[in-house]
Structure 1
């Protein structure tokens, strides 16, 4: 078989495998990771379970995708020579990582088992970066001084960054895993 034929066959098989793998997610109605804002991170422990012949915890997580926003432009204020926000604050929206973990708690006085689990879903996080505001050491042109500006002390200020989030978690017990 020629190398070009092998390459074409490999590309077709790869596309078919990707389509078959994506079909169950589309059938359930799952949204793509980019639309959800988080990327699921499963921790595969199946091989360890088989080699140790034990039931291990189920662990998975979610990592947020940071999305930069559009900064608010400078504001012009009457009486100032320089706009109010020289370096605007940059808004960023993302999230805190999520965690889903479950482990088995064997019953001492009976048959069966229980599980303990923690579910901390990814929560929204909104951040606003620091900004800078300045004012020139000159006043606006003064008609009483033939249009010349007056002198004053220069002003500078730092706009403080801000963080807003509401994290949450559930800890629970139940039967089975």
Structure 2
């Protein structure tokens, strides 16, 4: 095996080991619903001889819930929610960026940072409700149904989240 191939393979194994180590060192809250995404800039810092921004993020994992079952209502031939709405839990991705400043805002400010934590997201897919052109059996008509207008309805999708962000400037990186 050539030395360049060995060097490339060693760099690849080192990168994979760093990614696995970062995932294992994640906090329990982040390990449940998000995957950390570190951006390693340490090698570029030492190669360029300057301090670079710290960048990282979180990618939430969506999970599907269970749909509601059909609901039978009095006076309807078909159950409500013919095509049920499917709830999906997930989140908006998070980002954390800290960049060095050369005392641009005064002596006490060495960095500026923007942080947007991963926030929860709950979505419900659209659904469909329908009712046929017949009513249920009527006691006054010898148990025969009556005619009525058919009904078709669309259950709207829903999206609920509360995103947030913080911007800070202070000493240290």
CA deviations over 1:66-114 (Å, ceiling 9, x no partner): 0100111110001111001111110001010000000011026988861
**Structure 2: distance between partners of 1:133 and 1:150:** 20
Report if aligned partners of 2:108, 2:170 keep a CA contact under 8 Å in 1: no
Aligned length: 155
CA deviations over 1:137-173 (Å, ceiling 9, x no partner): 0011122222221111100000000011001110000
Q: Which of the residues 147, 152, 155 maps onto 2:148?
A: 152
After TM superposition, give the deviation of residue 30 of structure 1 in Å. 3.4
More strand by share: 1
Q: Which of the residues 111, 132, 157 maps onto 1:115?
A: 111
C-alpha RMSD of the superposition: 2.6
**Structure 1: distance between partners of 2:59 and 2:100:** 25
Q: 1:109–1:43: structure 2 CA closer, same or farther, 3 Å change rule?
A: closer
Unaligned runs of 5+ in 2: 1-16
Q: Which of the residues 73, 89, 96 maps onto 1:93?
A: 89
**Structure 1: distance between partners of 2:167 and 2:107:** 24
TM-score, L = length of structure 1: 0.79
TM-score, L = length of structure 2: 0.81
Unaligned runs of 5+ in 1: 1-16
Question: Paired residue for 2:157?
Answer: 161
**Structure 2: distance between partners of 1:90 and 1:110:** 53
